[in-house]
Amino acid sequence: MPSDFLTDTYMILRKRFRSRALRILGNQDEAEDALQEAFYKLWSKQYAIRSASDAEALLTTAVRNSSLDAVRRRKRKVPVEEADRIASDDQRERREQYAVVESLVRQRLNPTQQLILKRMEEEDVTLDQIARELDMQPAAVRMQLSRARKTIRELYLRMEI
């Protein structure tokens, strides 16, 4: 039966696999979990394993990969307090960036560009509606909007450097 190669190899080399996982993870429980996960992953492929050396090679790779996956999962976890602090820092940074952009809009754009930008970005009004309100061609409104965005982008990038 093909599963004998996998099971026999696993049982014979279990201590070596555990020590390998323990070296990577540094935690006995996580090492055991990695061993079980590796064996479980290979169980569905047991009929493709033709020899004990195939089983050993596959188990060695699977244990290493499971251990490394566990390390990556551990690194991604952030304590709740830390996540809250990061989120509040991100929000504060976005508010500061928004304030800078608002200041640039007020100081550097002409009144028509300010109005077009405000109506498009904040009030979600269509280009055609703005063109009718300002008695302009839609192409002219689009050009003014493009110029306004380009001006703000260039000024903001110069400030960041």
What CATH number does residue 117 fall under? 1.10.10.10
Give the confidence band of 63 by pLDDT, cuts at 50, 70, 90: confident
Give pTM, 2 decimals: 0.47
Mean pLDDT of 141-156: 92
Is residue 84 included in any domain, yes or no? Answer: no
Higher pLDDT, 5 or 156: 156
Asked whether the beta carbons of 17 and 63 are under 8 A apart, the reply is: yes
CA–CA separation, 56 and 5 (whole Å): 9
Q: Are residues 17 and 60 in the same domain?
A: yes
The percentage of the chain sitting over the pLDDT mark of 90, rounded to a whole number, equals 24
Q: How far is CA 108 from CA 105, 111, 118, 159, in A?
A: 6, 10, 14, 14
What CATH number does residue 68 fall under? 1.10.1740
